[in-house]
Structures are given as C-alpha cells and as structure tokens.
Amino acid sequence: MYNRNQLEILLEKINIKDYEKLKKLEIYIENLTKWNKVINLTSKNFEAIKHIQDSLMFFEVIKNPSGNLIDIGSGNGFPAIIIAILSNKLNVTMVEQNIKKSAFLRDTIYKLQIDAKVLNTNILEVPTETKFSFVTLRGLKCNCKMQTKIHSLLLTNKGKLVIWTYPAPHLKYFKLLHSFSKNNKHIHVYIKEQAEQQPI
C-alpha cells in the first residue's frame, strides 16, 4: 500500500507541491486497487509507491514536458496516468490492446478528469497522421516492427522515445540521447537516428 506522506515526498523531489495532483494520485491508486480485484492489472506483491517512483523518472530526465505523448501498452496506467496527472502541458494517448484494461484506463481518466484518451488497439494499427513529441514504453520489448512504427509516430528532430529497461537496448532507427538510473531502475531517452542531438 502507500501513505500520503510518501506521495508528498516523491512529488517534492520533482518540485511539485499541489494538493489537487496529490489527491488525484490517491484516487488513481484507489481505483487501481478496486479494479485489480476484478481483473489482473498488477502482481500480487504490487507496491504503488514503487511504480509511481519509477514513473516519476520521466520528469527527472524530461524537464517541463509539453506537446503530446503516446504510451504503448498502458495496461495498469504506469507511467501514462502518472504523467497525465502531473503534467499540465502534455496531451496523453494510451494504447492498450486488452479490452478490460482499456476499460479500466477510461474509467480512471473519467474519474480524474485528466487530458488523456485511450486507443483500444495494437500499436501497429495506430494511424500515423498525428505526430507525437514523446513515445513512452515500459515493460515491453521494442522489436523491429515496433521501432519502425514508433519512428513513424514521432516528430522529426523533436520527438523522443523514452524506455524503462536495463540495459539500454540498441535500436536500429534511434540514437541514445541520455540514460538515467535510480534505485536500480533505469530509463533511457532516444531520438530519431537522422536527428541531431539536442538538449533534454
């Protein structure tokens, strides 16, 4: 489980002191716990604080993110829901193929009233007309087909791919821009191969 003091400490570390955002995090955890009794969203030894802590690494490597973000395999909402709650400048799209998990995500978005939407589909079927500032990937392998699709979804020269994994994968169409490790967790930021390196 968790307590409010733990959440406050985590948010203070990324310079967020906002009661409404703290309350939304609590609502999210409560809703996740409720749904988890009906469908399998997390493991039996699930600890919300650890998953929130992992998700917050996004804000430690991407300062003041803005634009739009697409999260692949959103499942239980980490990191996409956390990012949507805490960022005022990001429009978040969650891609989840599982119907029940998509229903959970939509219910959570409704209850939190955050700027986000859910696509109940495979990432390979997502239209490429919209280009994204960020693609996030946690808990999934980035195979060749997925790399190609992500490449087509990202903004040229500005779009970034953010992956939680260890070690940093060697991606055919991307260049590693930055890696960050904390509490034995790892996050890596990539840009398109043809793009010049740019500050995070």
In the block, which residue shows the tokens 């395999």?
73
Element (H, E) at 177: strand 174-182
Residue 100: CB atoms within 10 Å: 13
In sequence order, what are the beta bridge partners of 178?
Answer: 189
Say whether 20 sits in a helix, a strand or coil: helix
Sheet holding 116-119, edge to edge: 116-119, 90-95, 67-72, 134-138, 160-164, 185-192, 174-182
Question: Does the annotation flag 77 for ligand binding?
Answer: no
Residue 4 marked in a binding site: no
138 labelled binding-site residue: yes
Q: Binding-site residues, please?
A: 73, 78, 138
> Which residue numbers belong to the known binding site for S-adenosyl-L-methionine?
73, 78, 138
